[in-house]
Amino acid sequence: MLFYFVSLLALQLVSGTSYTQSDSHTGIGFLKSFSYQAIPDPTHGRVNYVDAVTAANENLTYASGDHFVLRTDFWSVLDPDGPGRNSVRIQSNKQYTTSVMIFNIRHMPQGCGTWPAVWTVGEDWPNNGEIDVLEGINDQGPNQATLHTTAGCTMPDWRYEQGNALLDDCDALINSNAGCGVKFFDTRSYGPIFNDNGGGWYAVERSEAGISVWFWSRDAGTVPHEVEVGNETVDTDNWGESSAYFPNTDCDMTSKFGPHKIVINLTLCGDWAGSAYGDSGCPSTCEDFVNNNPWAFEDAYFDFQWLKIYT
């Protein structure tokens, strides 16, 4: 058993390596590098994902300097028999395998009924896997990072990480697609607390050795300088213990995760936020609240300072 623990620790310590910046997105760069997915919400949320023209006309996405904002409608009362609240789902034009991604985020969507997510996914889901970097519901932090795969990918009970491991089986076709998630220790990693502290940095490293996700709050004194400034090169060995760590000990990363695109979206209610709504201290029912309280979604927006990708 001791050898097993030491082996896991050694794997985490050697998995870090040096990467060189290949892509950098700031402000209008997001609009050039991502495409809009005006599709029915796969998670059955009370949203209507719009196309680029509608998003621009309604100011649901806009770029100014080093701000890229993605938000939901916050002025329309909805017909309960009509479409959901206008919102946005975008996907990167490029796809990635072994890489590091750093998301510098000032603000994330908050409020009852919200379900924001920043994640990566392969084609023919779940056959090429999914990595949820930032995700939560109804202001119920802290952040949760999760993997979703086909059968045959599990996580060990003990891992070198700053988070609480949840289910250990990543199979998307069991446990109502809960996947194998990790709840972060840092309460500043999600929702109003994240926003009150000016946001922070999320980073995800994907390699054959495993997948790691880090979070540093804007007011933390431990942010690696290369992360803070978006350096041309990064070395994940310098970043310390990750918030969530998914090793390859019982999961073949090369077969379970194919080329991934980055997805940023904001849904409302749906399979997770809707089912947990009654336990979140929120009023009414989720769909009724979304339909009749547009003002409640004024703070339901992302504000990205930049996204940098290293390979």
Does the pLDDT value for residue 234 go beyond 80?
A: yes
C-beta neighbour count of 289 within 10 angstroms: 20
Arithmetic mean of pLDDT, 194-200: 98
pLDDT level of residue 16 (50, 70, 90 thresholds): low
Q: Distance between CA 75 and CA 295 in Å, rounded? A: 6
Annotated catalytic residue, options 58, 123, 130, 226? 130
Q: Distance between CA 92 and CA 153 in Å, rounded? A: 26
Does the pLDDT value for residue 200 go beyond 90?
A: yes
For 205, the 3-state DSSP assignment is: strand
Closest CA to 125 of 258, 273, 265: 258
Arithmetic mean of pLDDT, 142-148: 98
Which neighbouring-strand residues pair with 83?
A: none
E-strand spans in 158-297? 163-165, 180-184, 200-207, 210-217, 233-235, 244-247, 261-268
CATH number at residue 262: 2.60.120.200
Does the pLDDT value for residue 13 go beyond 80?
A: no
Arithmetic mean of pLDDT, 294-302: 98
Domain enclosing residue 285, as ranges: 2-310
Closest CA to 272 of 43, 58, 49, 118: 43
pLDDT for res 8: 45
Annotated catalytic residue, options 58, 123, 135, 241? 135
1, 37, 126, 137 from 144: Cα distances, Å: 28, 24, 19, 10
Arithmetic mean of pLDDT, 203-220: 97
Arithmetic mean of pLDDT, 112-121: 98
Establish whether 130 is a catalytic residue. yes
209, 15 Cβ separation under 8 angstroms:
yes
Q: Is 123 exposed, middle or buried (0-12, 13-18, 19+ CB in 10 A)?
A: exposed
Percent of the chain with pLDDT over 90: 93
Q: Distance between CA 108 and CA 98 in Å, rounded? A: 26
Does the pLDDT value for residue 6 go beyond 50?
A: no
Lowest-confidence region among 5-19, 82-96, 221-235: 5-19
Does the pLDDT value for residue 272 go beyond 60?
A: yes
Q: How many domains does the chain have?
A: 1
When the pLDDT of each residue in the chain is averaged and rounded to a whole number, the result is: 94
Does the pLDDT value for residue 130 go beyond 60?
A: yes
Measured at the CA of 213, the angle between CA 267 and CA 93, to 5 degrees, comes to 55
Arithmetic mean of pLDDT, 197-215: 97
pLDDT in tens, 168-184: 999 999 999 999 999 99
| Residue 82 DSSP symbol | S
Arithmetic mean of pLDDT, 239-243: 96
H-helix or E-strand spanning residue 308: strand 301-310
160, 12 Cβ separation under 8 angstroms:
yes
Arithmetic mean of pLDDT, 198-211: 97
pLDDT for res 157: 86
Arithmetic mean of pLDDT, 38-65: 98
| Residue 123 DSSP symbol | S
C-beta neighbour count of 107 within 10 angstroms: 19
* Dihedral class, residue 303 (left if φ above 0, else alpha if ψ from -120 to 50, else beta): beta
16, 239 Cβ separation under 8 angstroms:
yes
Establish whether 135 is a catalytic residue. yes
pLDDT for res 1: 44
Q: Distance between CA 192 and CA 141 in Å, rounded? A: 9
Arithmetic mean of pLDDT, 142-169: 96
Closest CA to 189 of 214, 215, 221, 218: 215
